[in-house]
Amino acid sequence: MNRPLVGLLVALFAGGFAAAPVRALLPAYVEGVLHQPPLLTSTLLSVQLAAGGAFAVVAGVLVGRVGQRAAVLLGLTTSIFGAALFALDSPLALAAVAVLWGLAGGFQSAGGQSFMLAAVSRARMGSATAAYFVAGTASGALGAYAAGLAADRFGFRSVALGGAVLGAVGLLLALRFLPALDTRASAAGPDSRHGGTGYGALLRRPEVLALCMARYFPTVAWGAASLTLPLLIFRMAGTAGMVGTFSMVSLLCASLAQLATGRLIDRRTAGGDRSSRALVAPLALAILGCAVAAAAAAGSGVLWPLFAAGTLWAMAAWALSTTMPPLVHELGRGVDDARLVGLTHLLWSAGMLSGTLAAGALVDLNPVAPFGLAAGCLAVTALAGLWLVRRGGSGQSWQSAQPV
């Protein structure tokens, strides 16, 4: 049993359950309790994403200095800051907390993924990545469902209190069970003595640019969907409970898709193909089909087709995300992993920011418009996936020095 990985997954599950209400129910809280337009929701999410993205590249460097464990612990405060949003009603106070929420998120992404990449071998990277993401999606699904029911019955203030308490429990669990890793990379390569490659040199590599495209553009699409889908479902159903149910179902299904994708990556690795890049384009096309279906459902105003399209979208989107850490590890060669995690988190944050802002402005003009934006981004993602394949490389030119 890989004890460091198990400790990380336990901490992430607890923290994910506590943080689940924030993104799932924030549109309903802003519209149903604060009586503010969707633009406030998109602004708050954008502030969080901008803060997290701006700090991500710094966090990618700091992980190598403070250690992955310390970065994970700092990141687990995300749920506590997120819960505080449901206890406030002043837009300025909400924006201030959103900044802290974003900074903690930068540590969570850079620390968590770097910890996971350092704790497992290349041969098990797919399954470990799937388990890492499932810890977040499954806990998010259960947490969103419970929070939706609690919000309808007890109110959002109770959700805030419960989220803060559970977040503190997750942090205590990590303090108790999450071990520190010995990440002195004497065998990782010559650059490890100097802290890895600089960001400028990384961005001059064509395959890294393709990775950046494959991370940014589908995230713009998901940013638009993650604001638009819960909002339209809330308007069609009229209850926060239905939003929570959608989040639970879509995330549980996404968890199954992640596990299947991780298993497929490991099988490809065992068969001699050590790259997940060939999966990017097919998954992008699958998400494009979901975006078209969601647009049709939104135009019809019928709840259940939109529910189904959103669930399939979540499955394909999270399957695509499962390919990213193995690809980061392939391109980082065990030396630049933390920097590439920071860079891809910056692009993830920028994508979510772009998509969320655009959806907040477009959804009241036409509920189909955010899905049109998503479709264009996903077409670009498919092209980036084809570029990654054409750049070639089976990933066998180096051997990982990471532990099993």
Indicate if the pLDDT at residue 364 is higher than 50: yes
Task: Indicate the Cα dihedral angle 345, 44, 221, 307, nearest 10°.
Answer: 120
Indicate if the pLDDT at residue 335 is higher than 80: no
More confident of the two residues 346 and 138: 346
CATH number, domain 3-179+199-391, options 3.30.70.1400, 3.40.1210.10, 1.10.3720.10, 1.20.1250.20? 1.20.1250.20
Structure confidence at residue 367 as a pLDDT band (50, 70, 90): very high
Q: Which residue carries 């907040």 as its tokens?
A: 360
Stated pTM of the model: 0.76
Indicate if the pLDDT at residue 241 is higher than 70: yes
pLDDT per position as a tens digit, 92-122? 899 999 899 888 888 888 788 888 888 887 7
Distances in Å between the Cα of 206 and the Cα atoms of 93, 331, 387 are 42, 11, 9
Q: Across all residues in the chain, what is the average pLDDT?
A: 83
Q: Where are the domains of the chain?
A: 3-179+199-391
pLDDT per position as a tens digit, 165-216? 888 888 888 888 888 775 544 333 444 334 456 778 888 888 899 999 999 9
More confident of the two residues 24 and 351: 351
Distances in Å between the Cα of 343 and the Cα atoms of 168, 324, 339 are 28, 12, 6
